[in-house]
Amino acid sequence: MILTGKAHLAGVVGWPISHSKSPRLHGYWLDKLGIDGAYLPLAIEPDNFETAMQGLMQAGFKGVNVTVPHKEAALQFCDEVDPLARRIGAVNTVVFKEGRSYGSNTDAFGFIENLRQNSDNLDFSAAKTVVLGAGGAARGVIAALQDAGVPEVVLVNRTKSRSEALAADLNIDHEGNVKVADWDARAEILAGANLLVNTTSLGMAGQPSLELDMASLPEKAVVTDIVYAPLITPLLEMARSRGNPIVDGLGMLLHQARPGFEVWFGQKPEVTSELREFVLNA
Ligand code: ATR
């Protein structure tokens, strides 16, 4: 990579940041498209977040992605925040322009685009969906599903008070289409579902697997996991072995990066199988 004085700069702000796949992902696109630009890992401690963001803006950065633990702080920081990011309560993409900062959340876009690209027959307008987990990731996934037009989401979480609070919040503009069920009833509620989404950390490398009896799940139901390490989680393995179509979580990471790249660097990037291999083989 050789930069000129006009190079466009962006990066990802997090703490820690060394595990992030985003620099490799954006670097692949910059290289492929021959762009005069760079995308850097930016390790910023929580106490320094605001000062660092001001500094990046003043240094002429076009913008940044924001990851753990700064997504809520980024929402507070930005001069303007789009309505979806506000509903999710987190900003993951910031654009700096003429001394002002604009925040959005592209995780929801990434989640939906990943399903669109990798599950041919999924019709969101008819997708009765079961979502496992009620953390920050579930909030983004459910808001995305609501915007995509799903008629019903059944939300199950170990801690029911958390799923109830999340459902109440996300139902405000959506006429109660998020329903809450007990964690112990998670096997039964799979009957009649077209889409099953795991947003819990269960199944992630180093975490216990998700215990789930899938006997009631229709065979055509699409099963997806937002965990991508391992790529095929025990849940996806179990779903695949009983014949369900599966979509792994890596595509969500790849697709959520597209809108920021396009604004910062001025070209539309593509998510291809070659990119997947490149990001996986880090
Ligand atoms: P994130 O922001 O990534 O969603 P989080 O807010 O820590 O992370 O949420 C993690 C999710 O995994 C929660 O839904 C959590 O359930 P609780 O709300 O009951 O904590 C779920 N989770 C984590 N470990 C779990 C376990 N052993 N059994 C069931 N659910 C678990």
- Distance in angstroms (rounded) separating the CA atoms of residues 55 and 233: 40
Q: What is the pLDDT of residue 173?
A: 81
Residue 38 CB neighbours (<10 A): 17
36 vs 281, higher pLDDT: 36
CA angle (89 as vertex; 276, 279 as ends), nearest 5: 10
| Tokens (6 digits) for 82 | 């789009």
32-58 pLDDT, tens digit per residue, is 999 999 999 999 999 999 999 999 999
Report how far ligand 1's centroid is from the alpha carbon of 192 (Å).
25
Atom of ligand 1 nearest to the CA of 162: 18
- Distance in angstroms (rounded) separating the CA atoms of residues 111 and 115: 7
Atom of ligand 1 nearest to the CA of 137: 4
Three-state secondary-structure class, residue 101 = strand
| Tokens (6 digits) for 236 | 């996806």
- Distance in angstroms (rounded) separating the CA atoms of residues 84 and 53: 22
Ligand 1 pocket, residues with Cβ under 6 angstroms = 133-138, 157-159, 162, 199-202, 208
User: Burial letters for 44-73: b for 16+ Cβ neighbours within 10 Å, e otherwise?
Assistant: beeeebeebbeebbeeebbbbbbbeebbeb
| Tokens (6 digits) for 181 | 């069920």
Atom of ligand 1 nearest to the CA of 158: 19
213-238 pLDDT, tens digit per residue, is 999 999 999 999 999 999 999 999 99
Report how far ligand 1's centroid is from the alpha carbon of 179 (Å).
18
104-144 pLDDT, tens digit per residue, is 999 999 999 999 999 988 999 999 999 999 999 999 999 99
Confidence of residue 190 (pLDDT cuts 50, 70, 90): very high
Residue whose C-alpha is closest to residue 72's, from 59, 62, 86: 86
Q: Which amino acid is at 1?
A: M
Chain-centroid distance of CA 53 in Å reads 22
260-279 pLDDT, tens digit per residue, is 999 999 999 999 999 999 99
Query: Can you tell me the mean pLDDT for 78-86?
Result: 97
Query: Can you tell me the mean pLDDT for 135-154?
Result: 95
- Distance in angstroms (rounded) separating the CA atoms of residues 129 and 178: 9
Whole-Å CA distances, 112 to 118, 122, 252, 263, 267: 10, 11, 8, 20, 21
Query: Can you tell me the mean pLDDT for 165-187?
Result: 93
Report how far ligand 1's centroid is from the alpha carbon of 32 (Å).
38
Three-state secondary-structure class, residue 273 = helix
Catalytic residues: 71
Query: Can you tell me the mean pLDDT for 205-219?
Result: 95
Name all domains of the chain by residue range, CATH numbers in brackets. Answer: 8-106+257-280 (3.40.50.10860), 109-248 (3.40.50.720)
Q: Is this model's pTM higher than 0.85 or not? A: yes
Residue 195 CB neighbours (<10 A): 24
Report how far ligand 1's centroid is from the alpha carbon of 273 (Å).
30
Q: What is the pLDDT of residue 282?
A: 78
Q: What is the pLDDT of residue 176?
A: 82
Atom of ligand 1 nearest to the CA of 200: 12
Residue whose C-alpha is closest to residue 141's, from 225, 237, 258, 229: 225
Q: What is the pLDDT of residue 166?
A: 96
In the chain, % of residues over pLDDT 70: 100
Confidence of residue 172 (pLDDT cuts 50, 70, 90): confident
Residue whose C-alpha is closest to residue 251's, from 219, 275, 222: 275
pLDDT at 174 over 90: no
- Structure letter (DSSP) for residue 21: S
